[in-house]
Amino acid sequence: MLDELLSKNPDLKQVFDLTVTHTKYRKRETINLIASENVMSPLAMLLYLNDMMHRYAEGKPFKRFYQGLKYVDELEVKASEIMGGLLGTKFVDLRPISGTTANAAAFRAFTKPGDKAVVAPVQAGAHVSHTRFGTLGALGVEQVDMPFSIEEWNIDVDKAVKLIEEVKPRIVTLGGSLYIFPHPTKPIAEAAHSVGAKVIHDVAHVLGLIVGGVWPNPLAEGADVITSSTHKTFPGPQGGLFATRLEEDYKEIGKVIFPMFVSNHHLHRLAATAVTGLEMREFGREYARQVVKNAKALAQALSSRGLKVVMEEKGFTESHQVILDVSKQGRGTKVAMALEEAHIIVNKNMLPWDRPEDVKDPSGIRIGVQEVTRWGMKEGEMEEIAEFIKQVVVDGRSPAEVRKKVIEFRRNFLEVQYCFKISREEEVKLLKLMLHPD
């Protein structure tokens, strides 16, 4: 029946073919090293395909503007409880539909147009939403760049404290999308609080490392709010959250999420987020430790093969990320495109010494190992991946030649690890249940 339907409708066939081909390409034929992506477990994916994707739930659980949501309300409360247990707080809100939306709500809750925010500069890893080019600018908040030490690849604490005391901002942001060492939350929070500022720490990239116990939890170090997405080192569905230490901050940001930035918050993701949270509760420590081991192993393997990996003197990284300076190999755009031809997926990225005009062709490459770890790869596989990268970037071999090796290598890693296991028969049964509930 499907073949007949596709043969009669070429547009439908194109949509179908593109979707299926993409899925096979990314899940069976490529080594994905994008630092901001991951894969859900089969159980989480199947529960993602539920009727809630058709429904609206404006407002908070049990205080909705729509009817028919009694099970949604219970699920949202349970999912928030699960995430709160992982983060050490009961004040978690899953209504942001992305990390950027969570940032926007937190910024808006504590600032008004004309206020100042002290942030890490983009070249040093801040997400664009933290800047005048993104959400901060859209809200009319003035960006003041925090001093950054390239030697330490981190915030310059003494200079940052002095700046905060002089500027007296309304908010201070920490965290970033180029994030290899923990930011110094405690001293920055002490300085911020001394001038009445709130500290908003964006942990989107390291949420899974936090709940896995290998990265400090900013809430325990004095941050007022953490914002995050739920699909990077935390391997859930695309979405967002914020969590706070204080109920009053939780309520203040909650009043901004709805109705200012989110109406309906994509309810079908709640079940998958909850399942992923439970998987991380059971397997997260082992997973997070392996992620960091793999990042360090890949960094060392790349460095030994002639690539310039930043911060070798500090052990390269403490997160899932590895940062390359490829300015001698043709810069970020050229290198990323060549690796893509070889089915190795990375992204170009600005480094602290890049100029603003370098944004379209920066000197850096950002690599993340959280997804390949999720597929079961360990330190030995990092050596093989480093060799593939070296053959393309250093040796100048044809990407098409390396691609054949990559596809063959990838066939050995087709099952998601660190998750609840169900059989193929159970997968089919659950899929039928989601599509055709009895």
Residue pLDDT, tens place only, 44-62 = 999 999 999 999 999 999 9
Report the alpha-carbon distance of residue 336 to residue 218 in Å, rounded: 33
One domain, residues 200 and 302: no
The answer to whether residue 238 sits within a structural domain is yes
Q: Spell out the residues 6+ positions from residue 7 whose beta carbon is closer than 8 angstroms to its own.
A: 13
pLDDT digits (tens, 9 = 90+) for 183-204: 999 999 999 999 999 999 999 9
Residue ending a domain, choose from 236, 253, 278: 278
Do 272 and 332 lie in one domain? The reply is no
Task: Looking at the structure, tell me whether residues 246 and 395 fall in a common domain.
Answer: no
Q: What is the DSSP letter of 115?
A: -
* pTM score, whole prediction: 0.96
Q: How far apart, in whole angstroms, are the C-alpha atoms of residue 201 and residue 172?
A: 8
Please check whether residues 313 and 389 belong to one and the same domain: yes
Q: Give per-residue pLDDT as tens, 256-304.
A: 999 999 999 999 999 999 999 999 999 999 999 999 999 999 999 999 9
Task: Specify whether 183 is located in the same domain as 149.
Answer: yes
What is the structure's pLDDT at 132?
Answer: 86
| Residue 14 belongs to a domain | no
Residue 159: which pLDDT band, with cuts at 50, 70 and 90? very high
pLDDT of the residue at 438 = 79
Give the list of residues 6+ apart from residue 190 with CB closer than 8 angstroms, or none. Answer: 222
Looking at the fold, whether 244 and 291 belong to one and the same domain comes out as no
pLDDT for 131 = 84
Tell me the sheet residues that pair with 172: 118, 199
What burial class does residue 277 get, using C-beta atoms within 10 Å of its C-beta: 0-12 exposed, 13-18 middle, 19+ buried? buried
Q: What is the CATH number of the domain that holds 129?
A: 3.40.640.10
3-class state of residue 192 by DSSP = helix
Q: Is position 176 within any domain?
A: yes
Sign of torsion over alpha carbons 277, 278, 284, 285: positive
Q: Is residue 3 part of a domain?
A: no
For residue 273, the Cα-to-chain-centroid distance in whole angstroms is 14
Report the distance separating Cα 86 and Cα 80, nearest Å. 10
Q: Which alpha helices (H) appear in 305-423, and where do they start and end?
A: 331-341, 370-374, 379-393, 399-410
In a domain, 256, yes or no: yes
Per-residue model confidence as pLDDT tens digits over 205-226: 999 999 999 999 999 999 999 9
How far is the C-alpha of 319 from the C-alpha of 296, rounded, in Å?
9
Is the Cβ–Cβ distance between 361 and 333 less than 8 Å?
yes
What average pLDDT does the segment 80-109 reach? Answer: 97
- My answer on whether 287 and 248 are in the same domain is no
Rg (CA), the chain: 22
Question: Is 168 part of any domain?
Answer: yes
Q: Determine the Cα–Cα distance for residues 318 and 321; give it in Å rounded to an integer.
A: 8
CATH of the domain at 400: 3.90.1150.10
In a domain, 394, yes or no: yes
Q: Are 388 and 402 in contact (CB under 8 A)?
A: yes
Q: Are residues 268 and 287 in the same domain?
A: no
| Distance of alpha carbon 276 from alpha carbon 419, whole angstroms | 8
What pLDDT, on the 0 to 100 scale, is given for residue 125? Answer: 79
- Window from 17-26, 100-109, 126-135, 386-395 with minimum mean pLDDT: 126-135
Do 342 and 392 fall within a single domain? Answer: yes
pLDDT band at 123 (very low <50, low <70, confident <90, very high): low
3-state secondary structure of 177: coil
pLDDT, one tens digit per residue, over 292-347 is: 999 999 999 999 999 999 999 999 999 999 999 999 999 999 999 999 999 999 99
- Total domain count for the chain? 2
- What element of type H or E holds 116? strand 116-119
Residue 293 shares a structural domain with residue 306: yes
Residue pair 260/95 in contact (Cβ under 8 Å)? The answer is no
Residue 421 in any domain: the answer is no
HSE-up (13 A, CA, CB side) for residue 156:
14
Range of the domain at 153: 46-278
